[in-house]
Amino acid sequence: MKRTLSLCIFAWIFNCTLFCSEGLLADEHYTVVEVKDGGCIAGYVIRGGDAGMPSIDLYAGWELPKSSQVISEKLEVNKVNNGVKNAIISISNIERGKKGIVPPIHPIIDQQRGVFVPRVTAILAGTTVDLLNGDEEMHNVHTKSMRNQPFNLGMSYKQRILKKFDHPETVKLSCDIHQEYAWIVVFEHPYFDVTDRNGYFEICDIPEGAYAFRVWHEELGKQEKEVMIRARKIENTEFVYE
């Protein structure tokens, strides 16, 4: 009995360390206020060093942007400016700010040619995500999460499943049939963005003050820096992964 209890406790700690340690859980004490004369932050997430290293193209046959290069399945870097796609930028210590709006049109994660598209999705708590299977073969969607109810569902061709994520955390999606996976990061507040194919991000309507801005990438890890936001100003910054 004691051994079983110990194993259960260990498994809980391991899972919490794996998914909670992503450091992307928003402050649960966030308060909605009217934001007047808010400021913005904009910039790029950059891969330093030899970003042009050769690699196997795991997206062979895909119509990826010509300016992008796949260094691994997890990492897509723009060859022009070394911008990193699919990094998530957020404010880690904001307590007061604008109200987040759950989008009326659901974000879509589609399984295409054996991979999830997009690979990284950031959403506001309470958002419903449409999960699709665009392949003419069987897939499944298996989630690993601590606060949102996990599920493991088979997906036939053109099937659509709607799932709502109510609690802030990092959720890992996988297909056990084809060993593909993706991420959904759920926030309590609306101050987040996902970098585009150029590594660009922008977050606006931030109350004036100093904030800790955090960037997370599944392959490159986390970074954090403090930036002073001024009313009606745009602060430009870069996050560089060496």
Question: Where exactly does CATH 2.60.40.420 map onto the chain?
Answer: 102-182
- Burial class of 237 by CB neighbour count within 10 A (0 to 12, 13 to 18, 19+): middle
Distance of CA 192 to the CA centre of its chain: 9
> What pLDDT shows up at residue 198?
98
Choose the CATH number for 24-100+189-242 among 3.40.50.150, 3.40.50.720, 2.60.40.10, 3.90.1150.10.
2.60.40.10
The one-letter amino acid code at 103 reads P
Closest residue by Cα to residue 133 from 156, 163, 162, 106: 156
> What pLDDT shows up at residue 75?
95
pLDDT along the chain (242 residues), means of 10: 46 45 57 98 92 40 44 83 98 98 98 95 99 95 97 97 98 94 98 98 99 98 98 98 95
Question: Where exactly does CATH 2.60.40.10 map onto the chain?
Answer: 24-100+189-242
> What pLDDT shows up at residue 72?
56
Q: Domain 102-182: what homologous superfamily? A: Cupredoxins -  blue copper proteins (2.60.40.420)
Distance of CA 7 to the CA centre of its chain: 31
DSSP code at position 27: P
> What pLDDT shows up at residue 24?
54
> What pLDDT shows up at residue 51?
52
For residue 101, give the 3-state DSSP assignment: coil
